[in-house]
Structure 1
Amino acid sequence: MADAPANAQAKFLTGSLFRHVVVMSATSSVGLMAIFLVDLVDMVFISMLGKDELAAAVGYAGAILFFTSSFGIGMAIAAGALVAQALGEGDRQKAGRRAATSLLYGFIFAAIFAALVWFNLEYLAGLMGASGLTLELAVSYLQIIIPTLPILLIAMVGGAILRAHGDARRSMMSTIIGGAVNAVLDPILIFGLDMELSGAAWASVAARFAIAFFALYPVIKVHKGLDKPTPSQFRIDLMAIVGIAGPAILTQLATPIGQAYVTRTMATYGEDAVAGMAIVARLTPVAFGMIFALSGAVGPVIGQNFGAGQYDRVRTAFREGLLFTAMWVGGMTVLLFLLRDPLVALFSAEGMAVTLLYLFCGPLALAFFFNGVLFVSNAAFNNLGHPFYSTWINWGRHTLGTIPFVWIGAAWWGAPGVLIGQAVGGVIFAGIALILAYRVMSLRKEPDQAPFARQGRLMSIMHLRR
């Protein structure tokens, strides 16, 4: 297959970087928020059943699902970075080959990971603090969803490949369709067939299959974005994939592990506190889905320009990502503050759940800016050849930046202090990430510093032979 011109495949090398960041974030976030909104509706439906243990079970299960989805996020980061860099170099064949090997390796690894988690569900849910009927409900919910982790991985990696091609619209549509499938099935299964929590789980399973299909189909049919690797190339690409995916998965796993400590600490304050935290956990991605999408959106912009040696545009894209984060978080915080009372009524929140909801819809929402700084910095690290920096920062943020601060916050202010302490730790590590990101970008001045060329002499030899 002949290589296409670089500009035909790498659309972020010219034009307004702020516009690229906004358009990519907006289209990606619409799809993300479709899924997150359905999760939020799930919580509303479950709250309508009037059983605290169901809402608490969703809270515990959510922490474990976050843990498993982190594997898919890490593989998606690797696929997106490798494909975007190859497209920036103008090498369409390499981009297609790396997309194919990322999907194949990811599916295999995800199947093994899902099996390990599935056989240890009761132990993991117990670690979160679940017990009794709540533990049984959380485990039964997870037993339905966890086996579909390889399907979720295909969906995530497929979406990342589409974004690397600059096709954020089709990536968005895949998740919107998945969200629609979930939204339609939720009331039918939860209420119509009286399946309660199991109905919500099966609706999520159907949504994962829908997203995977509609993400992978345009990669194959529209972009011709998969190129069959030879056995030797399949082995060689493992080095490049693991070189980014390994640190990225470790990076992503830090978040659910930190969240697990937060969940366990919150569990000491009762099921209404856990339910309140679960509501906040589902409101957060709906309110800040644009910022969650920013990491995946700004990554291809940075990756393509770095692959083309346009280092000034790399630094500008990073700054524009931070500016956009500040604008979105400020506006959304005001909106959340105005909607505090309707949200309390919507979820029929009581007791500590109300206190936590009011806290989130007030000053705590502003602290999400620092999460955005971490997201943009991680995108820079992953696309500039320093994925382990993301790993160090995230593990630091979710261990040293979480455990002592949550412990102190809980000792001083009880359940609200758990969320306050978690936010304070994020501020500190966002500052560290920002300094480190600017240091990395200041070193990127010479074209011969391509990050992935250093991942092994064997890869370089194969590239020259081709």
Structure 2
Amino acid sequence: MPHHARHAPSAPSPSPVKDRSPCAKAQHQRRHARFVHGNIMRHVITMAGTGAIGLMAVFFVDLLNFFYISHLHDPTLTAAIAFATSLGFVQVAVSLGMSIGLGANTGRLIGACRHFRARRHASAFLVLMLVVTTALGVTTALLAHPLLVLLGARGEALKHASHFMYITSPALPLVCLGMALSSLLRAVGDAGRAMRVTLTGAACTVIIDPILIFGFHLGLEGAAISTVLSRCVISLSGFLNLRGHDMLERPRLKIIPHASRDIGSIALPAIGTNMATPIGNLIVTHAMSRFGLEAVSGQAVVDRMVPVAFAFVFALTGSVGPIMAQNLGACLPQRVQETFLAALKLTALCVGLDWLFFALGEPLILHLFHVQGDAVGLVKLFCHWAVASYMFVGLLFVSNTAFNNLGHPLYSTMFNWARATIGTIPFVAIGVHYGPRGVMVGQALGVTLIGSCALITALTVIRRLPQRPQRPTRKSHTKRKAH
């Protein structure tokens, strides 16, 4: 970093005493808050762009899994993977919520030049994350069959989905660890290495998936095994890429309660926030199950395409968080507002381009995934109209990021659960009378309402941020001295 970026021109040369402050030590060791200087839009594009590549790689593997399974020409398998992954999204939501809390707290401490405390808290909180996700993964595996029955799975689809969960659920701590380490990399501003963490796991799955599914004829079981192997690679890659940032140390048990309290104040609401989205999807999946396996498969095609197509929008939620957190820690509310507005502009651009892509590519999508029956109408409706609702999904997600990083995590919890309840249940309940397409339209209308309300609230929160106290000028200092 250039010398003028580290020290403001008007600031006096630091004395030896001041050099011993935590902030001065952090500067001396080149542990800088990278986002409190420079062009905001460039920071957002860099962080979100690299994050989108990593997310796209992960979700593309999930899409590729579904693509391979669809070519086995067994509707019970495609429905099974739809049911299983809908339940798996609830597990991942817990991991994502804890990672958001870890990244927000770490970014805020780094922005305030408290690197050593950030490292100590991060190391201690990782222990708690592993304990929680291990318990959750094992419990879900044990209760997979009754949970899938509640979701609407029946017959062979239930059998295959249960077997998939038995294999993948116990490996939940591995993906949680990888997400946490990637979050730490984003918190220190190393977007490139954060991207590598997910890319290595994706590369592993791309290679192993077809070998297990087609080469060894393992079908859905092969997809489950490749998922576990991919999670192992992601966690290992996280440790390797975090080396050099000095963000981990031997966890201290006595620090765990304190770190859990600080990070948990953000993580718990974030978990509640992220739990709402998969719960809402479970409600939609259950509604689709009334119309048979073809409707469930059609919804599954949409659910697999959306994360890949909108990876940039979803990456904004994890990428602009550290930018906001560092500038909040440095008392720069104007840059926080610039970050939020930049994210909104990029969301609108991404949704517009994706809408064009889906409208033109609809025939190819129907052909590639062998869409049949009721699923055809669902995919066509999404490609031409329902895709526009993801503009409001983006507004909701970016607003939630602002809430989580600006000290109002309960707002994000409230709005996400509003989407999953009053923004889903009544609209889907009405839409179900008009068939599968009515369910999709109801879901789109609900998120439009909630996303708009979240945007208005986020803008209000940002406008009320305290302004940075101005330093006294030399003239005023002289006057006070004379008095």
Q: Which range, TM-score by smaller chain? A: over 0.9
Q: Does 1:395 align with 2:417?
A: yes
**Is the contact between residue 93 and residue 227 of structure 1 (CA under 8 Å) also seen in structure 2?**
no
Q: Does 1:440 align with 2:466?
A: no
Note the C-alpha offset of 1:282.
Answer: 0.3
Query: Which stretches in structure 2 are left out of the alignment for 5+ residues?
Result: 1-19, 470-483
Q: Which has the larger radius of gyration?
A: 2
- TM-score w.r.t. structure 1 length? 0.93
**Among 223, 230, 236, which residue is 2:245 paired with?**
223
**Among 1, 4, 10, which residue is 2:33 paired with?**
10
**Is the contact between residue 84 and residue 165 of structure 1 (CA under 8 Å) also seen in structure 2?**
yes
Cα shift readout 1:198-248 (whole Å, capped 9, x = no counterpart): 0000001111111111112222x2211114454433221111122111111
Note the C-alpha offset of 1:298.
Answer: 0.7
Q: Does 1:214 align with 2:244?
A: no
Distance 1:103 1:229 in 2: 8
Q: Does 1:245 align with 2:267?
A: yes
**Among 421, 427, 430, which residue is 1:405 paired with?**
427
**Among 339, 353, 358, which residue is 2:375 paired with?**
353
Distance 2:432 2:225 in 1: 36
Distance 1:159 1:126 in 2: 35
Cα shift readout 1:431-457 (whole Å, capped 9, x = no counterpart): 111121122112211459xxxxxxxxx
The letter for the 1-side match of 2:425 is I
Note the C-alpha offset of 1:10.
Answer: 1.1
3-state DSSP of counterpart to 2:240: helix
The letter for the 2-side match of 1:439 is T
- TM-score w.r.t. structure 2 length? 0.90
Distance 1:120 1:396 in 2: 27
3-state DSSP of counterpart to 2:73: coil
1:44 match: 67
Distance 1:20 1:369 in 2: 22
**Among 419, 423, 428, which residue is 2:444 paired with?**
423
**Among 302, 308, 311, which residue is 2:330 paired with?**
308
Q: Does 1:180 align with 2:200?
A: no
Distance 1:101 1:365 in 2: 41
**Is the contact between residue 79 and residue 99 of structure 1 (CA under 8 Å) also seen in structure 2?**
yes
The residue correspondences of 1:41-440 to structure 2 (distance < 5 A) are 41-219=64-242, 221-228=243-250, 230-411=252-433, 413-440=434-461
Distance 1:102 1:23 in 2: 28
Note the C-alpha offset of 1:102.
Answer: 2.4
The letter for the 2-side match of 1:375 is F
2:7 match: none
**Is the contact between residue 303 and residue 384 of structure 1 (CA under 8 Å) also seen in structure 2?**
yes
Of stretches 11-20 and 269-278 in structure 1, the one that deviates more from structure 2 is 11-20
**Is the contact between residue 142 and residue 166 of structure 2 (CA under 8 Å) also seen in structure 1?**
no
**Is the contact between residue 154 and residue 216 of structure 1 (CA under 8 Å) also seen in structure 2?**
no
The letter for the 2-side match of 1:85 is R
3-state DSSP of counterpart to 2:36: coil
The letter for the 2-side match of 1:366 is A
**Is the contact between residue 138 and residue 170 of structure 2 (CA under 8 Å) also seen in structure 1?**
yes
Note the C-alpha offset of 1:44.
Answer: 1.1
**Is the contact between residue 30 and residue 172 of structure 1 (CA under 8 Å) also seen in structure 2?**
yes
Note the C-alpha offset of 1:155.
Answer: 0.6
**Is the contact between residue 121 and residue 255 of structure 2 (CA under 8 Å) also seen in structure 1?**
no
Distance 1:343 1:189 in 2: 25
Distance 1:24 1:275 in 2: 34
Distance 1:175 1:401 in 2: 32
Alignment RMSD (CA, Å) = 1.4
Of stretches 231-240 and 143-152 in structure 1, the one that deviates more from structure 2 is 231-240
Note the C-alpha offset of 1:179.
Answer: 0.5
Note the C-alpha offset of 1:85.
Answer: 0.3
**Is the contact between residue 332 and residue 467 of structure 2 (CA under 8 Å) also seen in structure 1?**
no
**Is the contact between residue 128 and residue 256 of structure 2 (CA under 8 Å) also seen in structure 1?**
no
Cα shift readout 1:88-136 (whole Å, capped 9, x = no counterpart): 0011101111221221111111111112212111111111100111101
Note the C-alpha offset of 1:398.
Answer: 0.6
Distance 1:29 1:386 in 2: 25
Identity over aligned pairs, percent = 39
Distance 2:57 2:253 in 1: 39
Distance 1:327 1:78 in 2: 28
Distance 2:202 2:395 in 1: 28
2:3 match: none
3-state DSSP of counterpart to 1:367: helix
Distance 1:354 1:422 in 2: 18
3-state DSSP of counterpart to 1:9: coil
Distance 1:109 1:155 in 2: 15
Cα shift readout 1:176-197 (whole Å, capped 9, x = no counterpart): 1101100111111001111000
- CA gap 1:229/1:40 in 2 versus in 1, 3 angstroms: closer
Distance 2:464 2:264 in 1: 24
The letter for the 2-side match of 1:397 is R
**Is the contact between residue 177 and residue 210 of structure 1 (CA under 8 Å) also seen in structure 2?**
yes
1:456 match: none
Distance 2:253 2:198 in 1: 33
**Is the contact between residue 75 and residue 102 of structure 1 (CA under 8 Å) also seen in structure 2?**
no
Distance 2:247 2:38 in 1: 24
Note the C-alpha offset of 1:270.
Answer: 0.8
Distance 1:137 1:218 in 2: 36
